[in-house]
């Protein structure tokens, strides 16, 4: 269980039900509060409504590219500070740099591991907490 932190709210924008289920299980078991969106449009709506502490973003979404969604989030003054982590099957050489250059704060290649996901989430939540103090 998490110590010293209120349950952080994490938005996961993902169109694949198996990936969503896996991440929901990992984050739920770790004590995080997870909200979900199945495409870019609902991701933008959920982010504005829920004001998450962190966003996990699939890059290949059915309606708009995850990088376009990230850019829209970063343009919103209420959401610009929220870390966005690209969670994607695009794991070619140079993808990490491309996603970071496009506005993502972090990058996790799929298939994800439980340890890697929890470590990355904890790292970005700690960093955000430090910056807001």
In a domain, 128, yes or no: no
Q: Which residues of the chain have pLDDT under 70?
A: 1-6, 128-133
How many residues are given for the chain? 133
> Residue 102 gets which letter from DSSP?
T
Confirm whether 4 is domain-assigned.
no
16-20 contacts, C-beta under 8 A, 24 or more apart: 16/58, 19/58, 19/87, 19/110
Q: Which domain holds residue 51?
A: 9-123
Domains in the chain, number: 1
pTM of the model: 0.91
Query: What pLDDT is attached to residue 133?
Result: 62
Residue 59: C-alpha distances to residues 1, 14, 45, 46, 66 (Å): 30, 8, 17, 17, 4
Give the model confidence (pLDDT) of 117-131 as tens digits.
Answer: 999 999 999 876 666
Q: Does any domain span residue 55?
A: yes
Question: Is 24 inside a domain boundary?
Answer: yes
**What pLDDT is recorded for position 92?**
82
Supply φ then ψ for residue 85, to 5 degrees. Answer: -110, 120
pLDDT score of 132? 64
Q: Is residue 111 part of a domain?
A: yes
What is the domain-level CATH number for residue 16? 3.40.50.2300
């Amino acid at each position: 269980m998490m110590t010293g932190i209120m349950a952080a709210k994490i938005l996961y924008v993902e169109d694949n039900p198996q990936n969503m289920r896996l991440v929901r299980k990992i984050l739920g078991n770790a004590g995080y509060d997870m909200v979900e969106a199945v495409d870019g449009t609902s991701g933008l709506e959920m982010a504005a409504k829920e004001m998450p502490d962190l966003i996990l973003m699939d890059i290949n979404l059915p309606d708009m590219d995850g990088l376009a969604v990230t850019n829209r989030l970063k343009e919103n003054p209420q959401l610009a500070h929220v870390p966005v982590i690209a969670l994607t099957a695009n794991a070619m050489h140079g993808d990490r740099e491309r996603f970071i250059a496009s506005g993502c704060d972090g990058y996790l290649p799929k298939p994800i591991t439980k340890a890697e996901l929890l470590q990355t989430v904890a790292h970005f939540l700690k960093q955000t907490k430090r910056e807001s103090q």
